[in-house]
Amino acid sequence: MSPPPLARAVEVSRKYGDVLALDRVSLDIPPGEIVGLLGPNGAGKSTLLNLLAGLRRATSGRVELFGGDPREPVRRKLLGVTPQETGLPATLRVAEVVRFVAAHFADPVPTSELLERFGLTEVARRQTGGLSGGQKRRLAVALAFVGRPRLVLLDEPTTGLDVSARRALWEAIRAFPGEESSVLLTSHYLEEIEALASRVVVIGEGRLLADGTVSSVRDLVALRRVSVRAETDLPGLTGVVARQREDGRLNLMTPDSDSLVRQLVKSGADFTDLEIHAASLEEAFLTLTAREG
C-alpha cells in the first residue's frame, strides 16, 4: 500500500470571473518526490500553487493538504512556501525575517543553521532592502524551509539568478527531500526541472496535459524540430504536428524527422539551410498545449 499523498487535487477547477484558470485538474504529491510543474505563463501554475497553499478556494473539486483543507491554518504546519523576493519587508534584517517566520512553527530550523545552509550568514544583520537580487532570492527560498516542512512549494525559485547562484540554490533544494518530504516547483528553466525533478507535470490553458517522469514526458512528445529557410510555407507535408515561422525560417515539429526530410527532398521544394534538432522540453510542451487546444 502506498503512503497517503502529502497533497492532492481532485478534479479541481478554479474560475476568476469568466476566466477558467484551472480545468478539472487532478494531481497527487506523494512523499519523497521533487515534482516539476511546467507550463507557459498563464497556464494555471500559480493558481494551482495558491490553492495548495490555502490562499484561494477551488471553484469546484477538492484540494487536500495533509489530509485536510489547506485553508485551515493547522493543515499548513508542515508546508513551506516562498514569498516573492520583491515582497520582503525592506526595513527588517535578514535574521529578523527568518525569526518572524520561525515564530509560526513548532520546531523551526535554528536561524543560524538555515542562514548557513543558504549562504546568508554574512548578511544576517543586513536589512532585506539592501540585499542583491540573488541574496533576496536565496532568502525567499530559505523561508520555505524554516518550519522543517514536509511539502515545499517553490514558485520559480531561481528566476533571475546567474548560473552559479542557480546551481548553489539547486544544491540546497536537492539536499532537502528525504523519504518523507516533497517539493513542488515551477520553473521557466527546463534545465532546472531536469536537474531537480524526478517527475514532471505539464499544464496548459488550465488543463493537465502530461504527468510522468522527465523522460516519459519527453517520449510523449518525442519531437524533432526540422528547420529550413524557405519562401513558401511548404504545404502538403505529412507528419507535421506544428509549424511556425521565425526570422525567415520555417520550423516544423514532427515525431519522424527522417520521413519529413525524405518528403522535403522528393517534393522538390525550394529550401536552404536545413537543420534538425531534438525538441527541447519547452518546445515539446508548447506543442502539446497547441495540440490540445
Partner 1 sequence: MSLVLTHARYQFTETIRVPVAVIGTMFFPAASMIFFVVPFTGQNAIAATFATASMVVFATSTTSIFTYGIGVSEDRAQPWDPFVRTLPAGPLPRLAGRIITGTGFLILSFLPVLVVAAVATKATATPAQLALAAGAVIAGAVPFTLLGLTIGYWLPFKAALAVAQLVFFPLAFGGGLMSAPGRAPGWVETISPYLPTRGAAELMWSAVGDHRPNSIAVLMLGVWTVVLATTAAWGYRRDEGRRFH
Under the rule (CB under 8 A), what is the footprint of partner 1?
A: 53-57, 73-77, 79, 81-84, 86-89, 91-92, 96, 100-101, 103-105, 127, 143, 147
What's the min distance (Å) between Cβ of 265 and partner 1?
54
Nearer to partner 1, 85 or 192 (CB): 85
What's the min distance (Å) between Cβ of 91 and partner 1?
4
Nearest to residue 38, comparing CAs of 218, 240, 244, 243? 218
Pairing assessment for the beta strands 34-38 and 151-155 based on DSSP bridges: unpaired
Chain centroid to CA 46: 9
Nearer to partner 1, 65 or 197 (CB): 65
What's the min distance (Å) between Cβ of 81 and partner 1?
4
Q: Distance between CA 175 and CA 160 in Å, rounded?
A: 22
What's the min distance (Å) between Cβ of 85 and partner 1?
9
Nearer to partner 1, 127 or 244 (CB): 127
What's the min distance (Å) between Cβ of 67 and partner 1?
15
CA separation, residue 194 to residues 61, 160, 236, 267 (Å)? 30, 18, 36, 38
Nearer to partner 1, 1 or 74 (CB): 74
What's the min distance (Å) between Cβ of 47 and partner 1?
13
Nearer to partner 1, 35 or 144 (CB): 144
Nearer to partner 1, 27 or 51 (CB): 51
